[in-house]
Amino acid sequence: MHIRYLPVMLIVVPVFCLQMQAQEADTLKTLTLDEFVVTGSYRKSIDGSTSQAVGLADKTFLTEHFTGNLVQTLGHMAGIRSMDIGAGFAKPMIRGLGFNRIVVAENGVKQEGQQWGADHGLEIDAFNVERVVVRKGPSSLLYGSDAMGGVIEILPLPAPLQNQWYGEVALLGKSVNETLGGSLMLGVKRNAWHVKTRFSEQHFGDYRIPADTVVYLTQQMPIDGRKLKNTAGFERDASLLAEYQQSGYHAGYAVSNAFQKVGFFPGAHGVPDVSRLQDDGDSRNIDMPFSKVNHLKATTSQQLTSDDRVIRWDLGFQQNHREEWSLFHTHYATQPLPAKDPDKELAFSLSTASSALRVEWSSGEFWKHTAGWDVQYQRNSIAGYSFLLPEYKRFTTGGLWLSVFRPNHQLTVSGGVRYDFGTMNISGYQDIYLEKYLRERNYPEPVVEANKWRSYPIDRRFGDVSGSLGVVLRMSDFYVMKANIGRSFRLPGANELASNGVHHGAFRHEQGDGSLRSEHGWQLDAGFIFEREGIRLTCSPFFSWFENYIYLRPTGEWSVLPHAGQVYRYSGAEAVFAGSEAELSLALLRCLTYRLSGEYVYTHNVDEHTPMAFSPPASMRNALVFNPLKGLQLVAEMQTVATQNRIARNEERTRGANLVHLSASVHLPYADVRLSAHNLLNTAYFNHLSFYRRVEIPEPGRDIQLSIKIPFELRN
């Protein structure tokens, strides 16, 4: 659907929905009450059944904090941070761990893309997310080596109980980058079948910042009209879900496709040039440089349930294709213009096939066991006139055993072990243009021989054990205490083993190390939950020790690549992560609630005696929630971000900030409307984790958002 069709959808579809709603207003009120009750029991069930710290983003949470971006929405949860990429894209970080250490799972299948890049977002339709469970801390036991930092599980809501047609129209507008977005969902429940489809689209222009200039490589560059040129883009998503449920058998089939195209700010891509920042008169066009991403995913789940046994098998196939386009430029005078797609700088095409089998059964009155086996195969191909990452093939498989002992309602003890085996086969890549460039400049022959191979052929095998032991103690109906200790490990990624080139997204020459060992360590979590009428308090301290934590280390070596600067090489080090998050919800009056959430993460590189890079600063949110009338909610929030002085080498200190956010939402008989103001005072501040932090580009300025959701249904 092109943007020109959006105004038609915004007018025609809501009118059609309102006519259908008028016939079923009482039914909708009853349905909303049922969903609230189910959500409450689901939260208590999670709190009492797992020894990990768990966050739940239910329908109410997702609606209240909806921004059109899933990761930024989850960033309102303590312990979860977003590594922002401009105004619309972000990737998750849990307790200071991100990239390939966080698993995002949808419909039981891990989302696989270019997680290693700071400029790569999460290709998931935010409109299509109905419920999220965030598992903080080591989750390698159930999800494999990439889950050592935590898991974000995207779960669908249960199918309607009665036969019906239903759907939803969602509309979104933002002032900071003139976003216009819409989504249409249609579903049908007919006896044993449930089918749901959704189409979403967002278009946005160059986003505004509260600054007139930015600084890149000591050069001051003007920002015309306080808009970052060429940061416009659009996102188009489509999905289909079909479920069959009959007599203990459940089958699910899902297909989705997410497409994104977004421009790169030209002042932060390549050698800085003030002339490239001159206003072109169009804040919605997408010029070079830009990126295109398409993520196709097809999954199926088959589940058999009996009185004491559950067997589930998840299969998935994903195709993630990313391209970066920039006018052909080369630092080697001898490199010719490519005959095909001459401006395609980089392209990565990652194909992933996966299988996960789980068997759960009860043994006696108090024991429950789970056995599982996972297999995954990946193949990555490359294209483009530049080079960063070679082609590779990756295979992993792992088996797990988990047992849960629950002698009574007060005590739950769980423990398990897992073994993973993986192979990484990386193709060699010889850069004939770099070799000629070095010879022409009379570099010594050993230097030429060492650098002409941008990637050596690598064939590695990895294997290791992970496990966990946890306890949940429900001391009363109001108190829950948890403790969990786990050993986790992670296979090195292809970028950590074999990348070798200028990564424009990170503004440095990144170089892998083919001899790296797998990453492993021990992690300890604790938790306390107190909940009774009018109050909920949670506190979750954690401590992690990694014997071989893989990170990018500045080497002090000057790159032989032209205009590349210093080499940053992936290295292993002993590292410590520690901290805590806490949340409080307190009913002050019948219609007034106070919310407090905060988090702190301490990181330390034991070998280098410095903090780790990308360490999130301490932060806190104070909010007052006022419900003067039924269906009306007003929220005033103060977000405080501390100054981050604990930085790694070659990182910049980031000063703190106080941000004010306001929102008002109203639940009408036929629609939910929310109006919010983010960064109300237009404060200039930096996100220490931001993609653009190194270029000293502040976060987006004041943003007024309007969100409208119109649900409808028609029962037989």
Q: Quick check: 688 pLDDT over 60?
A: yes
Contact 660, 622 (CB under 8 A): no
- Model pLDDT, residue 42: 67
pLDDT surpassing 50 at residue 10: no
Q: Which long-range contacts (CB under 8 A, 24 or more apart) does 625-631 make?
A: 625/592, 625/593, 625/594, 625/595, 626/591, 626/592, 627/591, 627/592, 627/593, 628/591, 631/666, 631/667, 631/668
Instruction: Please indicate, yes or no, whether the overall pTM of this predicted structure exceeds 0.85.
Output: yes
Percent of the chain with pLDDT over 90: 62
- So what's the pLDDT on residue 267? 67
pLDDT at 504: 66
Q: What is the pLDDT of residues 233-244, one digit of tens each?
A: 999 999 999 999
Arithmetic mean of pLDDT, 508-528: 91
Which of 257-261, 264-268, 647-651 tops mean pLDDT? 257-261
The pLDDT tens digits for 346-397 are: 999 999 999 999 999 999 889 999 999 999 999 999 999 998 899 999 999 9
Instruction: Give the pLDDT score at 425.
Output: 97
Would you place residue 633 in the very low, low, confident or very high pLDDT band (cuts 50, 70, 90)?
Answer: very high
Q: pLDDT per residue over 399-441, tens digit each?
A: 999 999 999 989 999 999 999 999 999 999 999 988 988 998 8
**For all residues of the chain together, what is the average pLDDT?**
88
* Residue 641 vs residue 17, higher pLDDT: 641
Q: What is the C-alpha to C-alpha distance for residues 570 and 498, in angstroms, rounded to an integer? A: 9
Measure CA of the first residue to CA of the last residue in the chain; give whole Å.
Answer: 30
Three-class SS state of 61: helix
Q: Which of 57-66, 604-613, 630-639 has the lowest mean pLDDT?
A: 57-66
CATH H-level, domain 3-715: superfamily: TonB-dependent receptor, beta-barrel domain (2.40.170.20)
Check residue 217 and give its pLDDT.
Answer: 63
Mean pLDDT, to the nearest integer, of 663-690? 94
Overall average pLDDT of the 639-661 stretch: 93
| Residue 392 backbone dihedrals phi, psi, to 5 degrees | -155, 165
Averaged pLDDT for residues 676-698: 89
* Least confident range of 83-87, 399-403, 564-568, 629-633: 83-87
Is residue 9 over pLDDT 60? no
Does residue 262 carry a pLDDT above 80? yes
Give CA–CA dist 462/466, Å, rounded.
13
pLDDT exceeds cutoff 60 at 448: yes
User: What are 76-134's pLDDT values in tens digits?
Assistant: 999 999 887 776 678 899 999 988 899 999 988 999 988 877 677 789 999 999 999 99
Q: How far apart are CA 173 and CA 345, in angstroms?
A: 33
Domain boundaries, the chain: 3-715
Q: Are 448 and 438 in contact (CB under 8 A)?
A: yes
Band (pLDDT 50/70/90 cuts) for residue 566 is confident
- Average pLDDT (532-558) is 92
Q: What is residue 33's predicted lDDT score, i.e. its pLDDT?
A: 38
- Over residues 544-552, the mean pLDDT reads 93
Three-state DSSP class for residue 87: coil
pLDDT of residue 84: 79
